[in-house]
Amino acid sequence: MKRLLFGFFSIENTKIHSTVAAIILLSTFAAAFGMEAAPKPQDKLTEVSANPALRSASQSTSIRLNSLGFLPSMQKKATIISKCSDFAVKRATDSNTVYSGKVTGPFYQADVNQAVYIADFSEVNEPGRYYLDVPGAGKSYEFEIGDKVYNFALYTAMRAFYLWRCGTAVEGEFNGKHYSHAACHTDDGWLDYISEPNSRRDGTGGWHDAGDYNKYVVNAGITVASLFLAWDHYQNELKGLSLDIPDTAPGYPDFLKEIKWEIDWLFKMQYPDGSGRVSHKLSALRFCPFIMPEDEKDKRYYAEWSSAATADFVAMMAMSARYFKPYDARYAQRCLDAAKKSYAFLKNNPENKQFERKPFRTGGYITSDQDDRLWAAAEMWETTGEPNYLRDFERSTWHLNDKISYYWDWSDVKNLGMFTYLLSKREGKRDSIVADIRRDLLTTADSLVAKVKKDVYGRCLGGEYRWGCNGTVAREVITLMVANKVSPNPDYVNTALDAIGHLFGRNYYGRSYVTGLGYLPPMNPHSRRSGADEIEEPWPGYIIGGGHSATDWQDVRRSASTNEIAINWQAALVYALAGFTNAQSR
C-alpha cells in the first residue's frame, strides 16, 4: 500500500495544472484508488457550518448566492435552481419584506444541466441581515449587506500565508479552535544536487507551497506579485490591516511583513557561488504522507537552477525593492542588488534553461521563460528607471500578437509585466506598445464580462475548467481591476464581485470554496496539516482548486486535482478581497 500511495503522491502534485493529460491520468488514478464520492450538498446541510451565523433550520439548498454578503451600492444576484416566479428580500430580525420582485428565467446551462432563475435585488442597499424568500424554492440562508462584508475574509485569507510559514512554529485561533504546528524543516537545505554532497546551507523560511511542504521559486513568483499588486492598488486599505502575526519585520505593515517572510527565504535560493543563478526549488525527493510539517524528516535539497526561476526571482526582488523601500531602505537595496546580479546572469545566458525533474518527484513547475524574462525586465525598469531594462522589455514584447493572456497562472506571467508597464508613470514608453497592451487588456476584460453575463453562476471563465481554476477565477479580478484603472467601467467591477460571489456560494454546489469562510465551506482539503492534525475543521482561509468540469469537484482529501490548496490561488483570492474592503472609502 505504501508503494501505491507513493505512486499516487508522485502524480497528485505534479504542478502541471493545466495539462489535459494530467487530468485524464488523475481521473484514472482516482478510479484506481477508489476515491470517496463527493458529498452531496444537501447531505451536508445538517452539519455544522464553520460559520455558525449562517446556520438555520429551514434553509433552502436551491438558492445560491454570495454567502459573505454584498456591498450596499453594488450589484446583488442569486441563482435559484427550483421553478419560481416571485421573490422577496426579508429582514432577518423581523421577517419584514424590504423588497419584492420577479425572477428572470428559466435559463438553461448545459455544463451543469440545469434550468435556473435569477433574482436581482441590487436595489436593496440598506445595511443589515437579510434572507431571500422564494415561493417554490424556500428561504435562503441569511446574508449581510454592509461595507465590511469582505474584511474578515481578507484577514483570514492573508493570515493563511502566515499559517503556511516554514521553518518556524505557527499558531492561530479560528472559530474557537487553536491551529498550530511546531518549528519544521529546520535542516533546509542540502546542496547535493547543485554543488557538494552532504553539505548544508541555510534555506529555512518561506511558505510551504500548497497541500505539500516543499518550496518552489516559480510558484512564489505569481504569488508574491499578486500580493504586491494588492498592496500597490489598495495600500490605503491594507496599511491598517492587522494580521495577528509575529513581528518578524519591525516597522513594516503586517501585509508587507508577511510578504517579507517569503523574500527572506528567496535570498537563500540564489546560488552561493555569486553567479546569480537561482535554484528552481527546495524540496524533498518525494512528497511526504499526510503528517504534520515538523514530522517530515526526509532530507530536502536545493534543486538545480532554471532560467524561469531566476527571472521570477529578479521580478520579485525588484518589486520588493520598490515596495519595502519606505519601511526599510537598506533591505530594499539588498533586494535590488540581488535582482541586478541575477538579471545580469540572465542577459549573459539567454537560453531557456528548464528545470529537469530527476531525481525529484515533487512539483515540477516546469515552464518556458520568455514570459518570466519579460516580467523581470518590466519590474527592473519600474524600480530603477534605467533605459536598458525598458529596452529589454519592449524588444521582447512589441512583436507578441497577444499582449495579454486571457487565462493565466504560474506558467504564464506575461500579464504581470504588461500590467506594470501599462500602469507605469515613468516616461519613455513606446506609444504603440502601450496602445496594444491597453486594447488587448480591455478586450480580455470585456470577454470576462460577457462570460459572466452568460453564465448562470456568474463565473467569469464561463465553462472553461482547468487545474486550479478557482484560483484563476480569483486572479481574473486582477485583470478586471487593472482594466478598470485604465478605462473605468462598472461592468468590470461587478464582474470582479461576481468572481467573489461565485467562490463563496453562487455556484453549482451552493457552497463556499474557501475553508472556514462562508456557507458550507470545504471540509476535507488536500492539505497535509489539515489531514494530520486533531481538529476536524480544516486550517482556515484557504481556497481550494476546484473541479475540472462544472460538476466534478470532490470535497475529499485525496482529490489533489480538485481539492488542494496552493499559494498562487491564495494570493489571487487575497487580491480579489482586498479591492472590496472598507468600501465606504472608495
Q: Looking at beta carbons only, is 183 or 532 nearer to Ca ion?
A: 532
Helices (H) and strands (E) in the chain, counts: 16, 14
Taking the C-alpha atoms of residue 295 and residue 314, their distance in angstroms, rounded to an integer, is: 33
Paired with 79 in beta bridges are: 64, 118
Q: Looking at beta carbons only, is 498 or 537 nearer to Ca ion?
A: 537
Q: Looking at beta carbons only, is 151 or 367 nearer to Ca ion?
A: 367
Q: What character string, x for contact with Ca ion (CB under 5 A) and - otherwise, covers 534-573?
A: -x--------------------------------------
Taking the C-alpha atoms of residue 421 and residue 3, their distance in angstroms, rounded to an integer, is: 49
Q: Which 10-39 positions form the footprint of Ca ion (CB under 5 A)?
A: none
Q: Where does this chain touch Ca ion (CB under 5 A) — which range of 41-49, 178-186, 359-367, 554-562?
A: 359-367
Owner of C-alpha cell 518570466: 372
Active site annotation includes 196: no
Active site annotation includes 464: no
- Is the distance from CB of 576 to CB of 479 less than 8 angstroms? no
Which of 312, 533, 555, 564 binds Ca ion (CB under 5 A)? It is: 533
Owner of C-alpha cell 436595489: 123
| Torsion sign (Cα): 17, 20, 23, 29 | negative
- Is the distance from CB of 104 to CB of 77 less than 8 angstroms? no
From the CB of 128, what's the least distance to Ca ion, in Å? Answer: 35
How is residue 540 written as a grid cell?
Answer: 482556515
Active site annotation includes 356: no
Which of 342, 527, 530, 562 binds Ca ion (CB under 5 A)? It is: 530
Give me the residue whose beta carbon is nearest to Ca ion. 367
Q: Looking at beta carbons only, is 181 or 268 nearer to Ca ion?
A: 181
Note whether 371 binds Ca ion by CB under 5 A.
yes
From the CB of 444, what's the least distance to Ca ion, in Å? Answer: 18
From the CB of 179, what's the least distance to Ca ion, in Å? Answer: 9
Q: Residue 533 gets which letter from DSSP?
A: S
Taking the C-alpha atoms of residue 173 and residue 324, their distance in angstroms, rounded to an integer, is: 29
Q: Where does this chain touch Ca ion (CB under 5 A) — which range of 54-62, 260-268, 355-363, 368-376?
A: 368-376
Q: Looking at beta carbons only, is 530 or 563 nearer to Ca ion?
A: 530
Q: Looking at beta carbons only, is 218 or 284 nearer to Ca ion?
A: 218
Q: How many CA atoms lie within 13 A of 411 on its CB side?
A: 16
Active site annotation includes 43: no
Q: Which 293-332 positions form the footprint of Ca ion (CB under 5 A)?
A: none
How is residue 341 written as a grid cell?
Answer: 546580479
Query: If binding means CB under 5 A, how many residues of this protein chain bind Ca ion?
Result: 6
Q: Element (H or E) spanning 91, and its range?
A: strand 86-91
Annotated catalytic residue: which of 12, 142, 144, 212?
212
In sequence order, what are the residues at sequence separation of 6 or more whose Cβ sits closer than 8 angstroms to the Cβ of residue 126? Answer: 72, 98, 145
Q: Which residues are catalytic?
A: 212, 526, 555, 564
Residues making contact with Ca ion (CB under 5 A): 367, 371-372, 530, 533, 535
